[in-house]
């Protein structure tokens, strides 16, 4: 669908949307780039999308042009009239909620499973990601397409035996597939942030059987809380962990970052049988 819309820079000027540092506002104006990001989840024609932080609506526009039905949560009330104008160009396709995405009950907004798409300040993005990954499985979302600082994106997709590998990698990979879909140069943003960005794409997979999530969380927190120590030291406070490692043939002299996601899952499966955890 092609609708004549004013250039985004004009929208910014008309509605006085000078970027607020406090709200982590770094806007994207390049329609080709926005189109590429909007295509990361796949064909969105007729699909429900939950967009967090639409701002002046550049990415929202690209999602609507891809045929999506968009529900968006934006905290900055200055952006609401600009988004209303965008909604008029796509009648019945855009629903905007003014509010804090950290407080909105997102699953309640959808009948089906939406694709989540967001270009957010990184601290809010990480908090939301952890919440979305910690939800009941299967999750209420079909996929996550999220812009992060490149360094955070690398932690999400990290492999063992790298500095980036830690709790975020295990949490992101134990029952989902996570990949970096594209990197975005800092100069693409207005104003440009200090660091490079990357878009992460996460799709849910089947959860490994017999693993209680709080147990996996407790193990990864203890192991990576002292990542330079041997597991026999870092996992000492986790009741039964040393016996479980012995049963699984995992050397207790290893350190957290050498354990694969599957090994963390195996450990969590054994300990999930223990009522003490
Ligand atoms: N999506 C737009 C783009 O790509 O140009 C704006 C991206 S800007 C990096 C982040 C947006 O998230 C801003 O519009 C900001 O007001 C909004 N935002 C920040 N914290 C938020 C929160 N807790 N809940 C909802 N929106 C938030």
Structural domains of the chain ordered from first start: 8-204 (3.40.50.150), 213-271 (1.10.8.100)
Q: What is the pLDDT of residues 199-213, one digit of tens each?
A: 999 999 999 999 999
Q: How far is the CA of 202 from the CAs of 82, 132, 196, in angstroms?
A: 30, 11, 20
Tell the residue nearest (CA) to atom 18 of ligand 1.
53
Is the pLDDT assigned to residue 2 strictly greater than 90? Answer: no
Phi, psi of 115 (to 5 degrees): -85, 130
Percent of the chain topping pLDDT 90: 94
Phi, psi of 91 (to 5 degrees): -55, 130
Write down the H helix ranges in the chain. Answer: 8-14, 31-38, 58-65, 80-89, 122-133, 150-157, 167-173, 213-225, 231-234, 241-248, 261-272
Residue with tokens 């100069």: 187
Substitution candidate for ligand 1 out of 11, 12, 20, 24 with most atoms within 8 A of CB: 24
Cα 243 to ligand 1 centre (Å): 47
Determine contact, residues 195/150, Cβ cutoff 8 Å. yes
Q: What mean pLDDT do residues 242-258 have? A: 97
Tokens of 95: 């629903």
Cα 251 to ligand 1 centre (Å): 45
DSSP bridge pairs for 50: 71, 116
Q: What is the pLDDT of residues 141-165, one digit of tens each?
A: 999 999 999 999 999 999 999 999 9
Q: Confidence band (pLDDT; 50, 70, 90) for 128?
A: very high
Substitution candidate for ligand 1 out of 8, 18, 22, 121 with most atoms within 8 A of CB: 121
Determine contact, residues 160/210, Cβ cutoff 8 Å. no
Q: What mean pLDDT do residues 26-51 have? A: 97
Cα 50 to ligand 1 centre (Å): 13
Cα 242 to ligand 1 centre (Å): 44
Please identify, by atom number, the ligand 1 atom nearest to the C-alpha of residue 53. Answer: 12
Instruction: Give buried/exposed letters for 97-132 (b at 16+ CB in 10 A, else e).
Output: eeeebeebebeeebeebbbbbbbbbbebbbebbeeb
The whole-model pTM stands at: 0.96
Tell the residue nearest (CA) to atom 12 of ligand 1.
53
């Amino acid at each position: 669908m092609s609708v004549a819309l004013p250039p985004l820079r004009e929208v910014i000027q008309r509605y006085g949307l000078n970027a607020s540092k406090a709200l982590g506002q770094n806007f994207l104006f390049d329609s080709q780039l926005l189109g590429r990001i909007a295509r990361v989840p796949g064909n969105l024609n007729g699909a429900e999308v939950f967009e967090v932080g639409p701002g002046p609506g550049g990415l929202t526009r690209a999602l609507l042009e891809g045929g999506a039905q968009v529900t968006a949560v934006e905290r900055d009330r200055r952006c609401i009239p600009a988004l209303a104008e965008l909604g008029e160009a796509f009648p019945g396709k855009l629903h905007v909620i003014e509010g804090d995405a950290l407080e909105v009950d997102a699953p309640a907004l959808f009948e089906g499973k939406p694709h989540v798409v967001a270009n957010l300040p990184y601290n809010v993005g990480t908090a939301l990601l952890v919440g979305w990954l910690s939800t009941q499985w299967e999750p209420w979302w079909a996929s996550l397409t999220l812009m992060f600082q490149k360094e955070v994106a690398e932690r999400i997709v990290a492999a063992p035996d790298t500095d980036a590998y830690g709790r975020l990698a295990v949490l992101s990979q134990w029952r989902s597939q996570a990949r970096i879909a594209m990197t975005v140069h800092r100069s693409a943003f207005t104003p440009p942030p200090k660091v490079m960005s990357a878009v992460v794409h996460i799709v849910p997979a089947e959860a490994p059987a017999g693993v209680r999530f709080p147990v996996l969380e407790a193990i990864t927190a203890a192991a990576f809380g002292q990542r330079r120590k041997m597991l026999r030291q870092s996992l000492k406070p986790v009741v039964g962990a040393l016996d479980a490692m012995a049963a699984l043939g995992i050397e207790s002299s290893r350190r957290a970052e050498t354990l694969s996601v599957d090994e963390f899952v195996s450990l969590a499966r054994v300990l999930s049988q223990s009522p003490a955890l």
